[in-house]
Amino acid sequence: MDSKQWAQPLSKEPKALGKYEVLCRLSTGGMSEIFLAYQRGIGGFRKIVALKTILPDTRGHEDVVRMFLNEARVTAEFSHPNIVQVYDLGIDNDMLFLAMEYVQGCNVVEMVRACHSAKQSIPMGFSLAVARDTALALSYAHSFVDMRHRKRPIVHSDVAGKNIMVSYDGTTKLLDFGIAKMQDTSPQAFSGVIKGTKGYMSPEQLLGLPLDGRSDIFSLGIVIHECLTGFRLFHESSSEKKKTSILNRPIPLPSSLNPKIPSPLDSVVMKALEKNPYARFQSALEFARALENAAGEHIWRAEQVGELVSQHFSQRREQTRELIEEVQARLNDVTGQIQLEGFFNKNTLEEAALLENNPLEENIPPPPETADNSAPPAFVSTTDENTLTLLSPEQLQAESPPSPPPPLAVHSENNPGRSALVPIPYPPLEKNTQAPPSGEAEYKTNPLYALLANKRFVFVLAALLSLGSLLSLVLLLI
């Protein structure tokens, strides 16, 4: 893929959108566009994000605005490693924008095109790993519980290759919850129009029926079928023909198009593509575990997935790096340094600058050489607190015994630039020479007190008394 078509800087000076500086445009869709941007803060803080905005032609459409706000509201509390995280929702000059996690990599559609351009088939292990991780993301959304411990199952309703990202480190990320809805909500809930990607909607979604997580399982089944075979499953030209094909046409076995696919994997994919929701996997987690069991050693690890992405999109990765480095070199972040001066005194800032220019390791002098290498050198302090004197083993033996540890110290106010240590005098320990009260002394010297203080004697006495009471009761009964 030509990286020049992927990202173009907007101008020499980045365009501001709220608290974010826009670097370039990443992609443009039917209703929105994505920008690469970063948030700049004090002390050199920078965070790279992806900004999603509504296209100018569709900003006046109430339905589009509702979908945009719905995505922010639905995903605000999501926290899952396989779902793109949403950071912020803002408005600038009547332009709504959504700040999201920036995933460096490609989506599944781009990977399919890259493999096709290289005249390679899509590796089975890649397809299985991406499908498994996407199923885990869907499982999280379908069983989502908010921070108030309320069940809020969310149906994505637009699972397709364009909405599944794969990063350079092999992490799969599901994104674009714009038309996501609460479970058992009709797909016509917003405007009476069924929304979703053509060729990837479930039969119940096409019929306008209430949806649950099994609808997303069907859509993901289409994605993995196409990745495993390399062919579009529902490739009809018109929307009506696609609808008829999804509702009525039998689905071919993946192995009929790719003989390398094992039979157990055939069964898993076909179960996900059952037209009757009750015949499919009843949860996305069940689907993910079934994929793992059927794939066995065929499924790739994350590092293998990341290696494939890096192989096909190295030029894009390099362009992103160069773009970010160019912007960082152009921007002079003096504002952060000025704002930090309010938190630290002058001496602290000077010491921090000195350490930054001269690392601590470089300021440590090498140990002095000794004539006798048989014994390690020993250092003792002299009267000067900043000087260390090297002593030989003979001198160490002649030294007096070590003095007791110094007393505790407090800071002195005589020298404000550098705190000195002032010894705290220890108060003399006072011995308690007072005799106990006479009554208490007589009590403790009483022999009966010593006898009662013996636990064994008290236990035996109690046992004898109990035995005596028992014998008395027996005699009375006789």
Q: How many CB atoms lie within 10 A of CB 359?
A: 9
Secondary structure (DSSP) of 336-353:
HHHHHTTTS-HHHHHHHH
133 is a catalytic site residue = no
Instruction: List, as one string, the DSSP characters of 232-271.
Output: -SS--SSHHHHHHHHHHSPPPPHHHH-TTS-HHHHHHHHH
Q: Pick the catalytic residue: 94, 133, 158, 266? A: 158
Can you tell me which residue has the tokens 């922010």? 72
Residue 366 dihedral angles phi and psi, to the nearest 5°: -70, 150
Interior/surface letters 457-475, b for 16+ CB within 10 angstroms, e for the rest? eeeeeeeeeeeeeeeeeee
Element (H, E) at 114: helix 108-117
DSSP state of 470: H
Which residues does residue 410 pair with via DSSP β-bridges, in sequence order? 422
> How many helices (DSSP H) and strands (DSSP E) are in the chain?
18, 16
**Residues β-bridged to residue 223:** none
What 3-state class would DSSP assign to 48? strand
User: What whole-number distance in Å separates Cα of residue 242 and Cα of residue 194?
Assistant: 14
Q: How far is CA 17 from CA 35, 43, 250, 262, 435, in A?
A: 10, 21, 49, 51, 83
Quick check: helix, strand or coil at residue 416? coil
What are residue 390's phi and psi, to 5 degrees?
-85, 125
d(CA 49, CA 35): 8
Alpha helices, DSSP H, located in 143-212: 203-206
Distance CA 11, CA 21 (A): 12
Neighbours of 273 (CB within 10 A): 22
Contacts 24+ apart (CB under 8 A), 233-239: 233/199, 234/199, 235/199, 236/199, 239/198
Catalytic residue numbers, as ranges: 158
